[in-house]
Structure 1
């Protein structure tokens, strides 16, 4: 049965910044070439830590005062959104801004600004008269999405989606749902992270024994490897232009892919340790809602963060769902750029979307010795895999407090 074009949601634009690329072409080239880009940065109270750092130019789309008064997450969100709009071929001046919705996933927000302000007033005997009046708008939860609206003149709805490290997928799901409900006619959706600018997240992972360490920063993130020892924290973002198929076709847009199905569920078992049974249920439900079978999935983009137990749990779930899928290939992006937290799902999906055009599955790198408990069939290791055709990508993104998300993007077929 033919699906209603007004209910089909397609991607018509994509903008990103990542530690190893500020455009999709640069990012993809580095993924195919096996080039990681992690570095050592100084961190207050901790010395040096491994981190994924972006080098985009915020002044491309912002004035100096906006950058100074706003947030790093806001600058990332603005950069990615502006790049996405340009990629979509939109005449932004003629777009009805009241019908644009902004839905941005984030892991945490406000920690950076609060930590910095507390440190700043500590230099003045904690006199709060030195506390910046920009603190409140910087730290409210809707900040990254709100900064987009102010910069771009959007007067439609905006908010951020707090979904831990599943937030990038959740932002895309929210955008698609709002389009299907008719709440907007165009959605800017995805995820952003400024996490590397807060010592708290590094200290927290270190206290959990989950902060990735290696003398070579580019080898610090090594999902599925026997020597993996934790997460490399990164910043970054990816924002997509989403439209109803009928609207995209009416304006003659180039369609990058179609959001075919998704699911978000909860473990309800542990705040940190993932539950493979719930993860498997999440993937299966996303596949069911897409009207597909597991055998129809060509690429599975894993969430695996390089924590010893987390990788094993996801491997169990994937092996369960894709046990009889000899043509389904599996990869991981965090081995290149670390864990971009709220941006992770959106960035990792972006890195795989060019598979529709080049028929290549980018590898998981930094695997010297594969952990037998993580031996997923068709895990692409260290070099790209050429396949006959890629028609579908399932993107896993999971987070603390047991939030799971699986999002399926298909090659667009009219």
Structure 2
């Protein structure tokens, strides 16, 4: 068994989720109830569309003027990181600020800020004299992670991990690796999305035929359903505090779970079309690194976004890997909160992490007519369901340009 100094555990969770949840307890109550976090947004040039929007105390950790100078992703990141630190009980008497790392997953960054500036100068006949001097520091990729370090005085390494919609998982993997290498002693890891601020992201998904539409926005996000017609774009953020097990136990920290396995790979095939066989390989590699078999997994949280082929490819991968695993349960969080892009994987993990305590799998909602090609055994629909066993969670996150990630978290058993 791996020594405790190499075992990585989650000791804090901070989040802002579509629908107004700004604590883990609120978010867990929302997903267990199957209460949609989707409303509507009137977007420049695009009209009104379903979207997932967050409501959280934006000035809890920094002043309004700092939020205005920074970015929406930075604002989300600062709040979530502050909550993760507070939840973990870290006050930097046991740890050093220069031995703390900040790793944030992003699908993209700078699109919102650039669109806003182009629109701004359009009001002045495109005179670039009206272009803000804040643009460059707002649009560098490390901006949200850097805003976190400036707010909390963290002087260790910070950077963003660009991995499309697998970025949240990728940032957690990065944090685990840096802790195991001894580069840092605490890692703030997570994912952020400010995508609801960009008309271009909405327009591009619509051009691909992948932007969800429904008369009732709460029913627009419907992975696995026969009537699904695309993605609901959401903003959001989630940050985890990661530590080595021995240090966390020595200071008496609450431990949410242990990260025991992870994997990333590439389809190497297409810009947007996912590929189930590579996803299956990614899942198997994570299981192998965790020293587990498919029968050891109790709950799979799917990436499924509500696109026709994307859902089918992942379902094929899961059905292949977990064939014969009768006690497995499968759910989908995007049906409730939409697709929070860089924050998707970590928000979805947070939604399911309390299953170690309450033993429940939250439901997949809006599943009125199951697509036969998505008919996974153990798919939890409609209402929350008691898990036969609640020891392990496997979290999938996949992204454009063929990037796949799988993360496995295990309930820590007291010695």
**Which residues in structure 2 correspond to 1:24-39 (within 5 Å)?**
24-39=24-39
Shift of 1:93: 6.5
Task: Give the whole-Å Cα distance in 2 for the aligned partners of 1:177 and 1:360.
Answer: 30
Give CA-to-partner distance per residue, 1:211-254, whole Å, 9 cap, x none: 00000000000000000000000000110000011111121111
Q: Is the 8 A contact 1:179 1:243 kept in 2?
A: yes
1:251 paired residue number: 251
Q: Does 1:358 align with 2:367?
A: no
The equivalent of 2:83 in structure 1 is: 83
SS of the residue corresponding to residue 212 of structure 2 reads coil
| TM alignment of 1:31-70, pairs within 5 A | 31-70=31-70
CA distance in 1, matches of 2:126, 2:62: 32
Please state whether the residue corresponding to 2:282 is helix, strand or coil. helix
User: Is 290-299 or 14-23 further displaced after alignment?
Assistant: 14-23
Query: Which digits, 9 at most, give the CA deviation of each residue in 1:175-195, with x for residues without a partner?
Result: 000000001000000101000
1:62-82 Cα distance to aligned partner (Å, 9 max, x none)? 112211100000000000000
List per-residue Cα deviations over 1:31-84 (Å, max 9, x = no partner).
111100211111011111110000012111111221110000000000000000
Determine helix, strand or coil for the equivalent of 2:252: coil
* Preserved contact between residue 329 and residue 387 of structure 2 (Cα < 8 Å): no
Provide the residue aligned with 2:108 in structure 1. 108
How many correspondences in the alignment?
Answer: 413
Superimposed CA distance per residue, residues 335-388 of structure 1 (whole angstroms, 9 cap, x where no aligned partner): 001000000000000000000000000010000000000001100011111124
Partner of 1:219: 219
Distance 2:226 2:22 in 1: 31
- Report what 2:332 is aligned to: 332
Q: TM-score, normalised by structure 2?
A: 0.98
Matched-pair contact (CA < 8 Å) for 2:298–2:387: no
Please state if 1:9 is matched with 2:8: yes
Q: Is the 8 A contact 1:221 1:334 kept in 2?
A: yes
SS at match of 1:79: helix
- The equivalences for 1:130-169 within 5 A come to 130-169=130-169
8 A Cα contact 2:327 2:388, kept in partner? no
Q: How much is the aligned-residue C-alpha RMSD, in angstroms?
A: 0.8
**Structure 2 residue 255 is matched with structure 1 residue 242:** no
Misfit runs of 4+, over 2 Å: 92-95
* Contact 1:222 1:228 (C-alpha < 8 Å) held by counterparts: yes
SS at 2:14 equivalent: strand
- Looking at structure 2, the residues matched to 192 and 257 of structure 1 have their Cα atoms a distance apart, in angstroms, of 21
Whether contact under 8 Å (2:205, 2:211) holds in the other structure is yes
CA offsets 1:75-123 (integer angstroms, 9 cap, x no match): 0000000000111011246641000000000100000000000000010
Q: Indicate yes or no: 2:193 matched with 1:196.
A: no
CA contact (8 A) 1:85 1:92 kept: no
Matched, 1:384 2:414: no
Specify every segment of 5 or more residues in structure 2 that has no aligned partner in the other structure, as ranges: none
Deviation (angstroms), 1:6: 1.0
Counterpart CA distance in 2 for 1:137 and 1:8 is 36
Listed as ranges, the matches of 1:385-400 within 5 Å are 385-400=385-400
Distance 1:81 1:14 in 2: 8
Q: Aligned to 1:60, what secondary structure does the other structure show? A: coil
Structure 2 partner of 1:315: 315
The separation in 2 between residues aligned to 1:32 and 1:157, in whole angstroms, is 37
8 Å CA contact 1:356–1:389 kept in 2: the answer is: no
Q: Say which SS state the counterpart of residue 40 (structure 1) adopts.
A: strand
Tell me what 2:295 maps to.
Answer: 295
- Work out the CA distance in 2 between the residues paired with 1:326 and 1:189: 33
1:311-354 residue CA offsets vs partner (Å, 9 max, x unmatched): 00000000000011001100000000100000000000000000
- For residues 284-337 of structure 1, what are the alpha-carbon distances to aligned partners after superposition, in whole Å with 9 as ceiling and x for unaligned? 110010011000000000000000110000000000000110011000000001
Stretch moving more, 233-242 or 88-97: 88-97
Note if contact 1:105-1:167 (Cα within 8 Å) is conserved in structure 2.
yes
> What's the secondary structure of 2:381's corresponding residue?
coil
- Matching of residue 74 in structure 1 with residue 102 in structure 2: no
Distance in 2 (alpha carbons) for counterparts of 1:68 and 1:312: 42
Whole-angstrom distance in 2 between the partners of 1:120 and 1:55: 26
Greater displacement, 378-387 / 333-342: 378-387
